[in-house]
C-alpha cells in the first residue's frame, strides 16, 4: 500500500514516522514544509501540493488542525479531483456533524471516507499504542484495519461515520473537566497547608482517582508546561466542538462552560502553546485574575 499523510504536526509527525518504521510507503504533505524534514530524512516522499500526495496514494490519512484545513487541503478543486477511488481516513478531532459533511463531499468526489480519531499523545503514537476509534461501515473497517493497526493494536469499530468523532469529543471533554477539577483541589489543599504527597496518597486509594492526575501532578507543582503532548489551544478547540454538539443535543453544558472560562483565561495568559495542565495557573489566579 502507499499512504498519503496530510498534516504532520504535533501528532501527525510521530504517526507518520510510525508508518515508515513499519515499512509502509509514505508520501507526506504539510502546509508548513519545514515540518516535513524529519520524515524526508526517514525515507518519506514529500510534496509541495496536497493533490500530488492524494493522486499517488491508495489511502489518504488526514491529521489536520480543523475542518477548515480539511476543506482547504482535501477538497479544494485540484485535490478533490484526485480523491476519486481513494480511501480517505480522517484521524483528527472534528465534530460528528462536520465528519458526516466531509464524508458526503468525499463520496460526491468519487472517494470513500471513514473516521478514525485517536486517544493518546506523542509517546503512544511513537509506540503504536494509541486507542483508535473508527466510524465506518463494517466492510470499510475491514478494508482499513491492517493500516489502522499500525497506530494501535485494537482499532474499535464504534458505529457509522460521526459516532467515533462523538466518542472522541466526549473523551476530550473529560480531559478538560478532570484536569481542571484536579487542579482546583490541588491548589485548595496547598493553600490549606497540606502537602500534595499526603493528598495524593489518599486520592490514589479512593474511587475518584484517575491516572491522569499523576501524569499532570508534577507539571502543576513545578509550574513546568513546556514540551506539550497536547497544548491548551487544541483543548480549547475541542472543548468548543463539544459544547456546540452538546447544545444541539439539548444537554445542560454549565459545567463545561465553567471549564471553558478557565481555558480562555489560560489563553489570555499567553499559554496557548503550553501543555494543557497549564490551566492550573489560571485556577491559581482566581476568578478575577488575582492570586
Residue 187 phi, psi dihedral angles, 5° rounding: -70, -35
Q: Which three cell numbers stand for residue 244?
A: 456546540
Contacts of 208 (CB under 8 A, 6+ apart): none
DSSP for 117-166 reads -EE--HHHHHHT--EEEEES-HHHHHHHHHHHTTT-SS-EEEESTTHHHH
CA distance 290 to 246: 32
Mark 11-33 as b/e (b = at least 16 C-beta within 10 Å): bbbbbbbbbbeeebebbbbbeee
From the candidates 35, 126, 138, 168, give the one annotated as an active-site residue: 168
Contacts of 160 (CB under 8 A, 6+ apart): 135, 136, 137
Nearest to 276, CA basis, from 229, 215, 206, 240: 229
Q: Which three cell numbers stand for residue 283?
A: 485556577
Q: Which residues pair with 231 in a beta bridge?
A: 275
Q: Is 268 tagged catalytic? A: no
Nearest to 183, CA basis, from 169, 196, 164, 173: 196
Catalytic site residues?
168
Amino acid at each position: 500500500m502507499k499512504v498519503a499523510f496530510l498534516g504532520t504536526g504535533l501528532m501527525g509527525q510521530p504517526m507518520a514516522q510510525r508508518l515508515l518504521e513499519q515499512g509502509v510507503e509514505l508520501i507526506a504533505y504539510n502546509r508548513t514544509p519545514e515540518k516535513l524534514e524529519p520524515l524526508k530524512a526517514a525515507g518519506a516522499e514529500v510534496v509541495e501540493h496536497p493533490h500530488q500526495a492524494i493522486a499517488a496514494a491508495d489511502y489518504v490519512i488526514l491529521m489536520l488542525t480543523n475542518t477548515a484545513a480539511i476543506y482547504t487541503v482535501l477538497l479544494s478543486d485540484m485535490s478533490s479531483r484526485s480523491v476519486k477511488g481513494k480511501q480517505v481516513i480522517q484521524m483528527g478531532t472534528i465534530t460528528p456533524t462536520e465528519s458526516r459533511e466531509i464524508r458526503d463531499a468525499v463520496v460526491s468526489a468519487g472517494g470513500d471516507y471513514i473516521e478514525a480519531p485517536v486517544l493518546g499523545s506523542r509517546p503512544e503514537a511513537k509506540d503504536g499504542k494509541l486507542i483508535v476509534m473508527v466510524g465506518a461501515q463494517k466492510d470499510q473497517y475491514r478494508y482499513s484495519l491492517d493500516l489502522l493497526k499500525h497506530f494501535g493494536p485494537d482499532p474499535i469499530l464504534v458505529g457509522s461515520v460521526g459516532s467515533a468523532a462523538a466518542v472522541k469529543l466526549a473523551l476530550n471533554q473529560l480531559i478538560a473537566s478532570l484536569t481542571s477539577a484536579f487542579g482546583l483541589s490541588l491548589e485548595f489543599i496547598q493553600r490549606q497547608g497540606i502537602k500534595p504527597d499526603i493528598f495524593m496518597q489518599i486520592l490514589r486509594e479512593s474511587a475518584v482517582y484517575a491516572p491522569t492526575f499523576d501524569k499532570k501532578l508534577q507539571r502543576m507543582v513545578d509550574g513546568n508546561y513546556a514540551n506539550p503532548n497536547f497544548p491548551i489551544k487544541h483543548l480549547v478547540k475541542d472543548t468548543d466542538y463539544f459544547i456546540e454538539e452538546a447544545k444541539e443535543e439539548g444537554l445542560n453544558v454549565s459545567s463545561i462552560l465553567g471549564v471553558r472560562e478557565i481555558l480562555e483565561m489560560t489563553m489570555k495568559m499567553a499559554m496557548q502553546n503550553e501543555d494543557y495542565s497549564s490551566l492550573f495557573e489560571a485556577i491559581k489566579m482566581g476568578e478575577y485574575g488575582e492570586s
